[in-house]
Chain A
């Protein structure tokens, strides 16, 4: 079955440590996205990538970094510079970033930093 896999489901880190969240898709989609969701909030865009070796900052990119070395993979690193990293992180993909291109989501990684 095609889909998006995020791992791990739960992640715990100490403050000051960088942590990398994995996102892999086998849908052959060009575009991939990272969103952050806080309790009772909508999704806020962190980074997106339209194609391999290209990515763009979203609304809340500060304290995060990404890479897109392979079409299938779009890992997100939460750095120690992110002031409030505890959140639910969602990865998504779509065939392209043109019109009428619905997103397919993974099941998220819940990150807790103490």
Chain B
């Protein structure tokens, strides 16, 4: 199955700075999703961007999608200590008549107060 790959694997910044995470994938997609996972918890859906969209905003989150480069980026502006978490991208794989999300390994973000 296709898997998105996040970059960097780990990111450490100071509160107030912006955090940028990237995701690359291998084959064409219908949409790409970003999720957040706090330590020891389940994932929480952040944002979905369709293949015909180039940019999407949600609060302090900005997601871009470049289908020609098969890549997406997640920007968190004015980061807070509470943003400390792992962030995953997911693409929908077509499996036997269904779209099944497949996940990358994630970016671990630490925001220092």
Please tell me which stretch of A11-19, A68-76, A79-87, A105-113 contacts chain B, meaning at least 4 of its Cβ atoms lie within 8 angstroms of it. A105-113
A103 in contact with B31 (CB, 8 Å): no
Interface residues on B, range: 20 to 34
A97 in contact with B42 (CB, 8 Å): no
B99 in contact with A108 (CB, 8 Å): no
Contact pick for A107, options B30, B42, B50, B104, CB 8 Å = B42
* Cβ-based interface call for A99 (8 A): yes
A residues 1-47 with Cβ under 8 Å of B? 4, 6, 31, 33, 35, 40-43, 45
Chain B contact residues, CB within 8 Å of chain A: 1, 3, 30-31, 33, 35, 40-45, 48, 50, 88, 90, 92, 95-106
Chain A contact residues, CB within 8 Å of chain B: 4, 6, 31, 33, 35, 40-43, 45, 48, 50, 56, 58-59, 88, 90, 92, 97-108, 110
